[in-house]
């Protein structure tokens, strides 16, 4: 009699996955054959622990074990009940077993159905932000292969039925051996359908489909975003000779909005305010995506670049309820600056340097000689005196005084010899 898996791991039947995993690791480390010198009993116990943990860690296998016990895994049932299926009801057919395990690679019927089915189509749809917010119904034109009306998608001109393909024997595939390898490809005679038409239709050349342009009305749900894919079933290309059509996939692309940026369900907008509003606070109104006006409260002392969140004023949630938020980024407008005084007369683009000497330099006893024999006292400036007050050479030497302007816009006087101040 087999040992209960829960008792083997030393856990309760209602234990969670974390408890079962911890118990298994502890027991497996204690019973590992490498730690006991190849003991056969420990090795058998270690294999039993692995078998128990393999069943209890899988939710589906654990549910089957709780219901049927060890009988759920006998005779190859693989956790689907002691008699196959989901709890009994007879064995499946041999072909269905291969189809469920290996798919169309082992089932010829699935190969022919896949080859005859129409192809899927892609359509790129461009939407505005307002359309994505509220949802919209769009009319699109699709050019694709549709069912031929002349032969009613049968591919035959008359009433003659289709016959089995002589090239592939109705399998839809042909095989070619190249050395030790066998290459399988679609039959070129029937294009994978396994049937041929003796008298093909002239409009569709025996395919049962022809190229047409048709208009479709599609509903776009609210909340779609860039890259959202919408599947429209059975609106793709028509299958050959009445086979099922493919699907149509709409790929959404968003237009750039003049006011709002988007990040998921959150909208981002810039809100310019005056310097007075930023300093003292106040209220401003901005337009919303739904056409309503949104009132924002500006706190006093807010800085440019800070954001204010307005909940429930963003985009709609796709396949859900409610709306996202609106993030308003504050931009404080600068006050217009008053025009500065014109540059000094000695240079239209004068650049004044900071004063470097704290104390004025004392003039020499003899003074410096100017071109006409005048002397002056050197002022305390950080730039050469010649840049501040270049004397006029056309003035007579008997001129009493000369005026000059320093870097700090104070007036200083240059005195000629013999006219010193007392």
56 neighbors 8 (Cβ within 8 angstroms): no
**Confidence at residue 337, expressed as pLDDT on a 0 to 100 scale:** 56
Which stretches in the chain have pLDDT values below 70?
A: 1-2, 38, 74-115, 179, 335-422
Residues with Cβ within 8 Å of residue 176, at least 6 apart in sequence: 182, 183, 184, 185
pLDDT of residue 207: 86
> Could you report how far apart the first and last alpha carbons of the chain are, in Å?
131
Q: How far apart are CA 148 and CA 205, in angstroms?
A: 10
Q: 45 and 31 in contact (C-beta within 8 Å)?
A: yes
pLDDT score at 345? 35
For residue 338, the model assigns a pLDDT of 52
Rounded-to-integer distance, Cα 42 and Cα 388, Å: 103
Reduced to 3 states (helix: H, G, I; strand: E, B; else coil), residue 286 is strand
Residue 134's φ and ψ, nearest 5 degrees, are -95, -15
For residue 387, the model assigns a pLDDT of: 47
Question: Is the CB of residue 220 less than 8 Å from the CB of residue 137?
Answer: yes
Q: What is the 3-state secondary structure (H, E, C) of 213-279?
A: EEEEEEEECCCCCCCCEEEECCCCCCCHHHCCCCCEEEEEEECCCCCCEEECCEEEEEEEECHHHHH
At 222 the pLDDT is 96
Task: Map out the domains of the chain with their CATH numbers.
Answer: 5-102 (1.10.287.110), 121-254 (2.10.230.10), 261-332 (2.60.260.20), 350-422 (no CATH)
d(CA 69, CA 11) in angstroms, rounded, equals 16
Taking the C-alpha atoms of residue 100 and residue 360, their distance in angstroms, rounded to an integer, is 102
């Amino acid at each position: 009699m087999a040992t209960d898996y829960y008792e083997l791991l030393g856990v309760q039947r209602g234990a969670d996955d974390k408890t079962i995993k911890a118990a298994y690791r502890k027991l497996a480390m204690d019973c590992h054959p490498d730690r006991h010198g190849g003991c056969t009993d420990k090795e058998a116990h270690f294999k039993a622990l692995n078998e128990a943990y393999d069943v209890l860690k899988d939710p589906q296998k654990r549910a089957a074990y709780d219901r049927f016990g060890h009988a759920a895994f006998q005779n190859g049932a693989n956790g689907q009940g002691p008699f196959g299926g989901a709890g009994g009801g007879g064995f499946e057919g041999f072909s269905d077993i291969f189809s469920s395990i290996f798919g169309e690679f082992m089932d010829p019927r699935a190969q022919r159905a896949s080859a005859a089915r129409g192809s899927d189509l892609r359509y790129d749809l461009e939407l505005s932000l307002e359309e994505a917010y509220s949802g919209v119904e769009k009319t699109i034109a699709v050019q694709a292969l549709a069912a031929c009306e002349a032969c009613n998608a049968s591919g035959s001109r008359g009433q003659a039925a289709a016959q089995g393909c002589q090239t592939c024997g109705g399998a839809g595939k042909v095989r070619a051996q190249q050395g030790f390898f066998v290459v399988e490809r679609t039959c070129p005679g029937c294009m994978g359908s396994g049937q041929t038409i003796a008298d093909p239709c002239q409009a569709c050349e025996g395919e049962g489909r022809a190229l047409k342009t048709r208009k479709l009305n599609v509903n776009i749900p609210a909340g779609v975003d860039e890259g959202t894919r919408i599947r429209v079933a059975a609106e793709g290309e028509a299958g050959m000779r009445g086979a099922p059509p493919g699907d149509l996939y709409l790929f959404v692309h968003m237009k750039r909005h003049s006011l709002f940026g988007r990040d998921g369900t959150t909208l981002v907008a810039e809100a310019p305010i005056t310097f007075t509003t930023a300093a003292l606070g106040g209220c401003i109104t901005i337009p919303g995506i739904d056409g309503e006006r949104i009132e924002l409260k500006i706190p006093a002392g807010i800085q440019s670049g800070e954001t204010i969140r307005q909940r429930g004023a963003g985009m709609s949630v796709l396949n859900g309820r409610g709306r996202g938020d609106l993030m308003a980024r504050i931009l404080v407008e600068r006050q217009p600056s008053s025009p500065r005084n014109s540059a000094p007369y000695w240079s239209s683009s004068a650049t004044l340097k900071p004063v470097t000497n704290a104390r004025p330099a004392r003039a020499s006893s003899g003074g410096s000689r100017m071109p006409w024999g005048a002397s002056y006292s050197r002022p305390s400036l950080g730039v050469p005196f010649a840049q501040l007050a270049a004397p006029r050479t056309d003035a007579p030497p008997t001129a009493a005084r000369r005026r000059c302007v320093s870097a700090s816009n104070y007036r200083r006087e240059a005195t000629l010899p013999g006219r010193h101040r007392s």
